[in-house]
Each structure stands twice: as C-alpha cells, then as structure tokens.
Structure 1
C-alpha cells in the first residue's frame, strides 16, 4: 500500500510539474497569497460580517464558489503562460503572469485587512483606491 501511495504522489507531482513548469518560490508564493486571500475573505464575511461581495456582508456560498473559481482561473492562466514560454522558447511569460497575480492577491489581502478594521496607512489605502479606479475604468 505504501508503494502505491508513493507512486500516486509521484505521478501527481509529475503531472503538475509538466503543466505548470518548475515548482519554484514564485508559484509557491502565489499559492500562499491565494490561500491567505481566501481565508481572510472568509474571516471578513464569517466573523466581521463586512464582506462587500454579498448583500448582507456575511458568508454566502455563491460568493465563496466564485472566489474559488477565480483562483482556479488564475492557475489556468499560469498554466497557459508556461505553455506559451515553452512554445516561444522564452522563460519570462509565466513569471510575469505570476508576479501580476501575486500583486492582485496582495491588494485583496490588504483590502480584507482593512475590512477587518486593521488600521492601514493612508498612502496604502490611497494607492489601492487608485488601482481599483484604474481597473474599473479599463473594463
């Protein structure tokens, strides 16, 4: 049984590495940021009842599933970026995508911290507002 388990783990790791490229610090950091963002969003809705994603500000399964779908789509974009790197013979498209998504997750984490009542520096709040306004006008 132990050998079967190790074989299955090896196959899964091989598939993931083939799809996403080398598992390095940047992809681990992205996944960590995604997890922190998801769980801080759960805390905002479940404990603080201050979520901007729901009408009542509390937990709502539909909002949670949307968040998980967005996280999965983020990973699909990393996969696509890696495949583009392989096709074009480059090594920077995946890293660029990961850095962009890490910045997005970090902004969301900071917003969640603000919704929890954590005092944030005014410059940070203003920078997030500017980024949010720019993203809304470009849509």
Structure 2
C-alpha cells in the first residue's frame, strides 16, 4: 500500500509540473468539462442519439485539452515561467466547453437567458 501511495504521489507531482500551478482557471475548466460530458450524455438519451463511440471520442478530445495545456505550460517555462500561454489556452478551452454545455442545454429545451447565449455565440463566431 505504501508503494502505491509513492507511485500516486510521484505521478501527481509530475503532472503538476507538466500542467503548472493549479489555479482557478484550471478548476473552472475541469468543472466545465465535467458539465459538458454529463449534459452531452443526458442530451444523447433525450434525443435518442446516445453513442458510446461519440462519448469515447469526447473523452479523448478532453484528454487532448490537457496535452494543449502541457504544451502551453512548457512554452511558459521557456519564457520565464509567467503563465501567459497556459492562461490563454485555459480561457479558450473554458469558452469552448461553455459553448458546448449551452448547446447541449438548448438541445434539451432548457430555457437560457438571451444575454448568455449571445455572448457565447459571439465567442464561437469569432473563433471560426
């Protein structure tokens, strides 16, 4: 059991170094990723389009988000450790996940404030 604890500790330490310091933007990103996954599954059931293949692709895409964060953090380390690139990537991914959550909610006919829909739609349109 103690060996497993050491392995777990070393793994998390390595991941922390790769991703960088954990901050609010990363916490928000993880929450949005989880919300997107859950709302996507519920939407799939409600619209009779649930697919394990689609779900697997979604999980793999979210894993690649962390690869993007690692690349951005390495660039930050290269320029002196100021989290410029990682912050940009995290904010961009938060917007993408937020848009996806709102699209899932809309597909399930959940009423949303027009201002929120417009803001996320403008972000989405700017990134096309």
TM-score by length of 2: 0.86
Tell me the equivalent position of 1:124.
116
Verify: 1:72 aligned to 2:72, yes or no: no
1:53-132 alignment runs, 5 A limit:
57-89=48-80, 90-132=82-124
Structure 1 residue 24, shift from structure 2 partner = 2.1
User: Structure 1: which 5+ runs fail to align?
Assistant: 50-56
Give unpaired runs (5+ residues) of structure 2. none
Q: What RMSD in Å do the two structures reach over aligned CA positions? A: 1.8
Instruction: Tell me if the contact between 2:36 and 2:97 (Cα under 8 Å) persists in the aligned partners.
Output: yes
Which 4+ runs in 1 deviate beyond 6 A? none
For 1:21 and 1:130, locate their aligned partners in 2 and report how far apart those are by CA, in whole Å: 30
Distance 2:4 2:109 in 1: 45
Q: CA deviation at 1:72?
A: 1.3
Number of matched pairs: 127
Match in the other structure for 2:17: 18
TM-score (norm 1): 0.80
